[in-house]
Chain A
Amino acid sequence: MSVPYLRGAVKDGDSEKLIRFVRLHLGDGNENVGRKEIDKSWTEALKILLHDQEPDCDFIEQTMQKDSSTLALLYFRLHFYFIRNSGEWIHDGSR
């Protein structure tokens, strides 16, 4: 999906196209895998918070002051961080 294709979807309010793209991106070209990967990253984050370790809320507050573009990329970075953290890493370059 090219950027013009995605921008067209934004302009048309066609969220299904955008959702499909996100799932394909996160699932290495497989929508079903992408859907599972998204769920997995959220549950991994939840599991970590259940450890009762105190988070660095000052750091989070400072980070949240960054521009939205940086935060959006950080969101994708965090997804991959949690997926890797889960131990079920499909993006390790193996078949």
Chain B
Amino acid sequence: MAAANLHSSKTTESLVDPRESGTQLRPGLWQTINERYPGSMITKSEFIPLARLAKALKDSTVCLISSCGVHLKRDRPMEVAHPLGDFSFRRVPSDAWQPDLIIHQLKYPHDDADLDINVIFPIERLQDLAAEGVIGGLTRNFFSFIGYNMDPERFEATVAEDIACAVDEEERADVALLAPA
């Protein structure tokens, strides 16, 4: 998981390639994925640096964003059959509980998460932290999408941009917790 402060200037700077530094990817992951899906991994020469917290965590409103494909049972299921991926996302009310939610994904084993959804989408743990005052509060909605995607440029221009705008402008989050699946 990674945390990013949202109300920061969007300046970019060249960073050390994480494949070399090993700071953002598990060692060997790049090679493993390229072996199974040649050409699927994207390379970026510039990264938006993670920002420092502007205020204390206990005063911050936290939003959860995940690629796990979790959504409300009543929502339209994710498009898991599309060979290029689903370019939509779902809003998940932050007061939802496990019985309200379903994991709609084909690309990773989620039998453990079916028993306890918090292992990939720690919504109830964040509710606990908010209730205990460890964090200031939660945004009204969290966000979820399917991580499997073969068109990262289109994904960045659509899903990523739309979620970023919603998190910043609609939800007014101070901190976004990014949880890959």
Contacts and interface: CB of A to CB of B under 8 A. Distances in A.
A28 interface: yes
Given A6-B150, A93-B108, A95-B111, A73 B38 contact: no
Interface stretch (B80-88, B93-101, B133-141, B159-167): B80-88
A45 B150 CA distance: 28
Contact of A94 (B109, B153, B154): B109
B37 A95 contact: no
Contacts of B36: 24, 29
Interface in B87-126: 103, 105-111, 113-114
Interface of B: 36-40, 42, 79-84, 103, 105-111, 113-114, 150-154
B81 A77 contact: yes
Contacts of B40: 1-2, 5
A21 B81 contact: no
Contact of A76 (B37, B81, B154): B81
A5 to B, nearest CB: 4
- The A contact surface, by secondary structure, is helix
Given A95-B109, A95-B111, A3 B151 contact: yes
Interface of A: 1-6, 21-22, 24-25, 28-29, 73, 76-77, 79-80, 91, 93-95
- Grouping DSSP codes into helix (H, G, I), strand (E, B) and loop, the B interface class, with mixed when no group exceeds half, is loop
A2 B108 contact: no
A28 B39 contact: no
A25 B40 CA distance: 12
Nearest to B36: A29
A80 B105 CA distance: 13
A25 B109 contact: no
B106 A76 contact: no
A37 to B, nearest CB: 12
A2 B152 contact: yes
Given A1-B37, A22-B83, 18 more contacts: A1-B40, A1-B150, A2-B42, A2-B152, A3-B150, A3-B151, A3-B153, A3-B154, A21-B83, A24-B36, A24-B37, A73-B81, A73-B82, A93-B103, A93-B105, A93-B109, A94-B111, A95-B111
Contacts of B107: 28
